[in-house]
A and B are shown apart, each in its own frame.
Chain A
Amino acid sequence: MTAYIIRRLMQSAAVVLAMSVIVFLGLHVVGDPVYLLIDPQADQAEIERTIRRLGLDQPIWMQYFHFLKGALSGDLGKSFVHGTSALKLIVERMPATLEIAIAATLMAILLGIPLGLYAGLKPDSFASKSIMATSILGFSLPTFWVGIMMIMVFAVMLGWLPSTGRGPTATFLGITSSLFTIDGLRHITMPALNLALLKISLVIRLTRAGTREAIHQDYIKFARAKGIPTSRIVGVHLLKNIMIPVVTVLGLEFGSLIAFSVVTETIFAWPGMGKLLIDSIQTLDRPIIVAYLIIIVMLFVVINLIVDILYSILDPRVRIGEKSA
């Protein structure tokens, strides 16, 4: 297991390095680094100074080396707009984004698995057909439009939930989050549900397909022949098998949740890193864009690593395969 984790860590480092080359090439070869990295308001002397500071007058491999050195020491440049470290700005906004992504993942699990199980166990019932039709719609609906409609219905027409912003935070078990206050929960419900819609549809489909496949397996029939009650067959025998693909997919989709939070955060004025990114694209605050890109790549790599390890813990067959390898 440890050998496996070390091997995966080395693979991950290789991916990050490869991505850093791509990011670098994107900025320095496809785009014009002078235009991308230097404040457009700067005067000629300032520009020259920055060119020298960034080493843009040096050969390209030296530039890459500089870029890598800066990135490794956590220096990804200063925001033109805020005047502070781009990295710090993003890290400050990260908890809000992670919070909404985690809330959306929880919703996908808590709503998607029971609905998918039901649709898989009773495929011919009217309720199951409605669930599946809704989940197909969930795939087609553009996230941002659903968000707007949610605001229209729940905030404007019914007045049940606040339409924008993040609620007050509280600290619980050393974690500061708006999930621990009532008003915070009221604020996060709509954005999290909006972000979760696609994933709920996905989990419903996965769970249903897994259920349909598993209930015809011999091990389920054998469990019935042992006299195991239906509740335990579904809750233990079936669920444990279905959880493996569901957890794996949800884990891999966590990265896409963070990416898609760009949309949700914009609609609901949620103060996360996605909103910061959109603001930065509009104000041409490029150091932030670069920092966001590097952070998100790291995040993806870390998530993939965690999912792989989680998968090998969940599925005994994989765990052994690694041990003997």
Chain B
Amino acid sequence: MSTTDAGPAVAEDAAVRRPAVQTPFQRFVADYTESRLATIAFVALIVTMLLALIAPWIVPQNPYDLAQVDIMDSRLVPGTPASSGKYTHWLGTDGAGRDLVSAMLYGLRISLAVGVMSGLIAMALGAAIGLVAAYVGGKVESLIMRIVDLQLSFPAILVALMLIAILGKGVDKIIIALVTVQWAYYARTVRGSALVESRKEYVEAARCLGLSNGRILFGHILPNCLPPLIVVVTVQTAHAISLEATLSFLGVGLPQTEPSLGLLISNGFQYMLSGEYWISFFPGLVLLMTIVVINLVGDQLRDVLNPRLSK
């Protein structure tokens, strides 16, 4: 009699207690997966990144190996078999006879690489500057924040165009331009949260322990600024990819030898008016999906990581 009574009670107890032993990461995962759309977006993002990573091993053709590309195959309608007969151009070919599926995956690789790399460099640079501004304060801080405000008052595309006009074309130049455009967002975000964090008691405690400034900044304050930073990274990476595509489309971005999605779209644009839509359309769709997926993930991250919204 007593055992039957205890059974359900124990089970219930465990059920009640389980959320309490969740690690923060487990809670984060649980919160994140509450939205089906965001979960799908996350999976799609992983798939996109994997596809870009392994592109050289899965595409039928290396679109930039002239030996493999036949100019006679140019502008083939989707579904046409290649003249070599080895494979089918499921999404057609572009103006130079490159298989579009292959060109797109290579383009995706370049777009993602440029976007992510510029995002990471800008984050490192911006976060460091923002931290210093918050920690040093005074004239240094107001000078840095003035520069940030001034730069953010001009549209990103304008700043990027000007830099490219001065620096010239090339992958490295594009990354410099994208970093210049983005660092200010990171600096502003990190300064904001660092100011909040540095007033908290644990920083005071760390100071009392006699820890060095650098240790307090990077070991204690920075980790607590990470949640907003992660959100900005996702949103800014999507911006960077979009901006790079725009610049490449305008013909002032990446060179023809390293065609990103933007350049593919640009190359196909001239055939658009004659009805050969696929050369621009499919790369555009991939670009769009990539940006939307990153934005969806970023949106959900903001909701989950925002301390004001968490219960």
Direct contact of A and B (CB under 8 A): yes
By a beta-carbon cutoff of 8 Å, the part of chain A in contact with chain B is 15, 18, 26-27, 30-31, 36, 136-137, 139-145, 148-149, 151-152, 155-156, 163, 255-256, 259-260, 262-263, 266-267, 277-278, 280-282, 286, 289, 293, 296, 300, 304
Contacts of B135 in A (CB 8 A): none
Q: Is B250 touching A262 in the complex (CB atoms < 8 A)?
A: yes
- Our pick among B154, B161, B238, B281 for the contact of A277 (Cβ within 8 Å) is B161
| Chain B residue at minimal CB-CB distance from A23 | B162
Out of A151, A255, A278, which one reaches B273, CB within 8 Å?
A151
Among B19-27, B226-234, B241-249, which stretch is in contact with chain A?
B241-249
Residues of chain A contacted by B292 (CB below 8 angstroms): 137, 140
User: Is there an interface contact between A156 and B155, defined as CB atoms closer than 8 Å?
Assistant: no
B166:A36 contact, CB within 8 angstroms: yes
Give Cα distance in the complex from A136 to B238, angstroms: 14
In the complex where A27-B166, A278-B251, A282-B252 touch, is A259 in contact with B155 (Cβ < 8 A)? yes
Task: Please tell me if the beta carbons of B291 and A140 are within 8 angstroms of each other in the complex.
Answer: yes
Partner of A278, one of B153, B154, B252, B277: B252
8 Å CB contacts to A: which residues of B161-218? Answer: 161-162, 164-167
Q: Within 8 Å of chain A (Cβ to Cβ): is B272?
A: yes
Give residues of chain B (93-112) contacting chain A, Cβ–Cβ below 8 Å: none
Give complex CA distance A136, B292 in Å. 9
Whether A263 pairs with B277 at a CB distance below 8 angstroms is: no
CB of B49 closer than 8 Å to a CB of A: no
With A286-B165, A289-B162 already in contact, 10 other A-B pairs whose C-beta atoms are closer than 8 Å: A26-B162, A30-B166, A144-B249, A145-B288, A148-B265, A149-B281, A156-B272, A156-B273, A262-B158, A263-B250
Q: Say yes or no: A262-B288 contact (C-beta < 8 A), given A278-B252, A300-B153.
A: no
A145 — which chain B residues lie within 8 A by C-beta?
245, 265, 284, 287-288
Please measure, in the bound complex, the distance between the C-alpha atom of A300 and the C-alpha atom of B265, giving whole angstroms: 31
CB under 8 Å from chain A, chain B span 234-282: 238, 242, 245-246, 249-252, 262, 265, 269, 272-273, 275, 277, 280-281
Size class of the contact patch on chain B: 35 or more
Which residues of chain B are within 8 angstroms of A137 by Cβ–Cβ distance?
Answer: 292
Q: Does B117 contact A (CB under 8 A)?
A: no
Which listed residue, B157, B164, B246, B249, touches A281 by the CB 8 Å rule? B164
Inter-subunit contact B295/A139 (CB<8 Å): yes
Q: Nearest-CB distance from A191 to chain B (Å)?
A: 15
Question: Which residue from A30, A141, A255 sits with its C-beta under 8 Å from B155?
Answer: A255
Interface of A is mostly: helix
Residues of B within 8 A of A163 (CB): 273
Interchain residue pairs with CB less than 8 A apart (27):
A18-B150, A30-B166, A36-B166, A140-B288, A140-B292, A141-B288, A142-B242, A142-B246, A142-B287, A142-B291, A144-B262, A144-B265, A145-B245, A145-B265, A145-B284, A148-B280, A152-B281, A156-B277, A259-B155, A259-B157, A263-B157, A277-B161, A278-B251, A281-B252, A282-B251, A289-B165, A304-B153
The answer on a CB contact under 8 Å between A148 and B246 is: no
| Number of inter-chain CB pairs below 8 Å | 96
Minimal Cβ-Cβ distance residue in A for B289: A140
CB of B288 within 8 A of CB of A142, answer yes
> Chain B residue with minimal CB distance to A290?
B165
Q: What sequence of 0s and 1s flags, for each residue 284-308 of chain B, a beta carbon within 8 Å of any chain A beta carbon? A: 1001100110010000000000000
**What CA separation (Å) do A145 and B251 show in the bound complex?**
14
Q: CA separation between A159 and B208, bound complex, in Å?
A: 74
A286: chain B residues within 8 A (beta carbon): 165
In the complex, the answer to whether B291 meets A143 with C-beta atoms within 8 Å is no
A30 CA / B281 CA spacing, docked (Å): 39
User: Which residues of A lie under 8 Å from residue B295 when comparing CB positions?
Assistant: 136, 139-140
B247 to chain A, nearest CB (A): 9
Question: In the assembly, what is the distance between CA of A36 and CA of B168, in Å?
Answer: 11
Give the distance in Å from the alpha carbon of A27 to the alpha carbon of B162 in the complex: 10
Which residues of B are found within 8 Å of A280, using beta-carbon distances?
165
Return B143 CB to nearest CB of chain A, in Å.
12
Q: Are B288 and A152 in contact (CB under 8 A)?
A: no
What separation, in Å, do the CA atoms of A27 and B165 have in the docked complex? 10
Q: Which of A18, A140, A149 contacts B238 (CB 8 A)?
A: A140
Distance (whole angstroms) from the CB of A248 to the closest CB of chain B: 14
A278 touches B250 (CB 8 A): yes
Distance of A259 Cα from B281 Cα, bound (Å): 25
Residue of A with least CB distance to B277: A152
Residues of B within 8 A of A278 (CB): 250-252
Q: In the complex, which residues of chain A have a beta carbon less than 8 angstroms from the beta carbon of B246?
A: 142-144, 263
User: Among A27, A144, A267, A277, which residue has the most Cβ atoms of chain B within 10 A?
Assistant: A144
Which residues in A have their C-beta under 8 angstroms from that of B288?
Answer: 140-142, 145
Which chain A residues lie closer than 8 Å to B167 at the CB level?
Answer: 31
Return chain B residues, CB-CB under 8 Å to A259.
154-155, 157-158
Chain A residues positioned under 8 Å from B262 (CB to CB)? 144
A103–B188 Cα gap in the complex (Å)?
33
